[in-house]
Structure 1
Amino acid sequence: MGSRSLSLAIQKTEIVLLTRKRIDRNIQMLVDGQSIITSDVIKYLGVMLDVKLSFWAHICKAADRAAAVVGRLGRLMANIGGPSPSKRRLLMRTTDAILLYGAEVWADALKFQKYRTRIESVQRRGALRICSGYRTVSAPAVQVVAGVTPIDLLADERRRIHLRKAENAPTVVKKEEREETMRRWQNRWRSESRGRWTARLIHGVKEWTERVHGEVNYYLTQFLTGHGYFWSFLKKIGRTTDSRCLYCQQQRDRITDDEQQDQDGVAEGLEIEEDDVYHTHMCPRWERMRSSLIDEVGELQPETIVNKMMETKENWDAINTYVMAVLKEKERNRDWEGLTS
């Protein structure tokens, strides 16, 4: 360097010893007459390099920075009102830029569950704000509902594109690798053990994320995830002491009050089911509204309802209106006997 009239800025100089050997890595070194102690981690071109090149330090730092951004953006995204999900998704892409910086280099590190969990937790928080979901919704389910591709799959996609940079058709390469990412996401979603109610409704992640109409909202997300104004769910989170359907309980009480009905044994034969999202969908309390909806869009079952929604915008709006009406009514009745304050 001296022969080229160059010199080191010693106060900015850092040294890291890259090795996987179990040796003392904190070594005092003499540089231009000054003593420098080697570091465990240094920052090079925005990427944190640790002694073992595990990239754990980089992932933690990127996750912390992205979490701070998610926290600030989250304050702009109330469950009811605020930006539309498409605008929320656009805002949250700033966190992807932070999380995926330099992914071409460190994407392989995400083969470890610990690393994936650390970075996925931040993306999950952002996805919850996009679709206005309960914080109890699992990461796989909320990623699908919000249309957010898992961050580890995006990182590996960038790595694959980088490895094919010598090819002369970058647009084709990006398209092919995106198709591969969606295929992997679909396979993961099919074999995932969490979010099975959501999987029952949403079968194809590609069709759902690339739909041409329809936005999710606070109430529709409750229906798609099963986390919301359902007594079985509220009991799990300690907000109620009874998971049975209170509407069915009311109906049974009315029958019991009728002496003739009681003598016929009708009340004893009326079972009160647990009030989960499926029961809400089939509950007699909403029979009239449900019949009107079926007359408009056709027969509805959990396995077909999302496909109906994606067929036309009119179907989407009709089903969304029905879901909102039901859940708003249940929300108004949240102070019934059996619910805690």
Structure 2
Amino acid sequence: MYHAIKEWGGTPFGFIDDVTITVEGKIEENTKSLSNILEKCCNWAKSRMTKIDLGDKLGFIHFTKNVKPKDEKVQLTLPNGELREPQKEVKLLGITLNNLLDFKSHILNKINKARKAVGAIWHLGGVQKGMRGSAVRSLYIACVRPIVEYGLEIWHHKILKGEIHKLEVMQNMALRRIVGAYRTTPIAVLQRKLTIGILKKQAMEEWQEMYWNSSKDLWYHNITVESKCTDNLSKMVTGVIMKKDSRRILSNITQFRTGHGNFGAWFKKFGIEKDSYNCKCGELETVHHILVECPLLEEERKGLKRISPEMDMSTLLNSLTGLQEIVSFISAWRD
């Protein structure tokens, strides 16, 4: 039938039982040509003891930047005499196409579906309880990213800043849930922890460049340096702590590395009322105070001193042995 459609003036392409026919020219002439081709296709199918579905799955759309009022009234005549008005959108192999071919509807639809999937994952792990971080991360990679990435090679060049922001928000939700991080935790730190890219690298070079060159970049990198995060952290956390330890431990590690968590200094910084912002010893409760200074934790701190006699924060928070010892310290301290 494809060869016949070409002879009738159309350009066919398809996949299994999905057939698409296009014609070029003026809208009124194109519509008449499509009506003629469709009638011939139905006759061709009838002669071979089959038929073409003319129901709701039959899509009809004009791709043009300037649709005149009179063109909107041009209707497609089906072989059964029924008139079909042109649609604003059609779906082709899972890709939503509109008149302008700007893929805006498709992108927003995929973002909304991805957000729903993230919302479902959200219930599987909180800050203290739930599935292990490695399991939640696997769910995100397997169930959320494919939704967003589908057809990316076709539409990525049409993505706008507002849509990029929505993609960032969706991924940020997932990143925080994976490691049990607080909402104020800098996203750049979590991205380094998990090495999760939201979209295929080869198709998103422009998006990456725009994101990392934004005004947020300097602020993010300053926080990253302050938190002493390095690229090695991805192997440490995802490879060891996320698979071995509970969500509670993973969340606490994230809090200690970023300073955003259940500490008096954090509550004070964000103006959250609390009976006291101080440690039991009377000093302001910070990560540095808990790990290095608090006199009430000398016994629990012995393991940390074996790793770094000088109690160097960079060594403790930025080495595999240091993080493993901090896991033991947190268990003793929290209990």
> If the length of structure 1 is used for normalisation, what is the TM-score?
0.66
Hey, what does 2:260 align to over in structure 1?
Answer: 227
Cα distance change on mapping 1:25 and 1:41 into 2, 3 Å: farther
Corresponding residue for 1:169? none
- Provide Cα deviations, 1:18-68, integer angstroms capped at 9, x if missing partner: 344586698133212544333333222111223333322222211221222
Q: Secondary structure of the equivalent of 2:200?
A: helix
Q: Is the 8 A contact 2:76 2:86 kept in 1?
A: no
Per the alignment, residue 321 of structure 1 pairs with 328
Write the mapping of 1:1-341 to structure 2, written as runs, cut at 5 A. 1=37, 2-4=39-41, 5-6=44-45, 7=52, 9=54, 11-21=56-66, 27-32=72-77, 33-93=81-141, 94-110=143-159, 112-145=160-193, 147-151=194-198, 154-158=199-203, 191-194=217-220, 196-205=222-231, 207-211=232-236, 212-215=239-242, 217-240=250-273, 245-247=278-280, 250=282, 275-285=285-295, 288-289=298-299, 291-298=301-308, 299-309=310-320, 312=321, 315-326=322-333, 328=334
Question: What SS class does the counterpart of residue 194 from structure 1 fall into?
Answer: helix
Shift of 1:294: 3.8
Rounded to whole Å, the distance in 2 between the matches of 1:149 and 1:21 is 41
SS in structure 2 of the partner of residue 97 of structure 1: helix
TM-score, length-normalised on structure 2?
A: 0.67
**Corresponding pairs, count:** 276
Q: Is the 8 A contact 1:42 1:49 kept in 2?
A: yes
SS of the residue 1:53 aligns to: coil
Rounded Cα–Cα distance in structure 1 between residues aligned with 2:168 and 2:290 = 31
Distance 1:27 1:75, change over 3 A: same
Q: Provide the C-alpha distance between the structure 2 equivalents of 1:104 and 1:38, rounded to a whole number of angstroms.
A: 27
Do the aligned residues in 2 keep the contact of 1:198 with 1:224 (CA within 8 Å)? no
Report the RMSD for the aligned CA atoms in angstroms. Answer: 3.7
Unaligned runs of 5+ residues in structure 1 are 161-180, 251-271, 330-341
Asked whether the 8 Å contact 1:197–1:226 carries over to 2, the reply is no
1:228 and 1:282 map into 2 onto residues whose CA distance is 18
- Checking the alignment, whether the CA contact within 8 Å between 2:188 and 2:221 is kept in structure 1 is yes
Distance 1:96 1:208, change over 3 A: same
Distance in 2, matches of 1:294 and 1:133, equals 23
How many Å separate the matches in 2 of 1:300 and 1:182? 37
- Structure 1 position 100, deviation (Å): 1.1
Quote the offset at 1:217 in angstroms: 1.0
State whether residues 232 and 242 of structure 1, in contact with CA within 8 Å, keep that contact through their aligned partners in structure 2: no
Cα deviation 1:245-301 (Å, max 9, x = unaligned) = 3445x3xxxxxxxxxxxxxxxxxxxxx65x443444443345615751343212443
Say if 1:219 and 1:324, in contact at 8 Å, map to a contact too: no
State the 4+ residue runs in structure 1 displaced beyond 6 angstroms.
181-188
Quote the Cα distance in structure 1 between the aligned partners of 2:271 and 2:319.
35
Q: What amino acid is aligned across from residue 197 of structure 2 in structure 1?
A: P
Are residues 66 and 88 of structure 1, via their aligned partners in 2, closer, same or farther at CA, if it must alter by over 3 Å?
same
Contact 1:137 1:227 in 2 (8 A): yes
Cα distance change on mapping 1:22 and 1:16 into 2, 3 Å: closer
Identity fraction in percent: 21
Q: Is the 8 A contact 1:25 1:38 kept in 2?
A: no
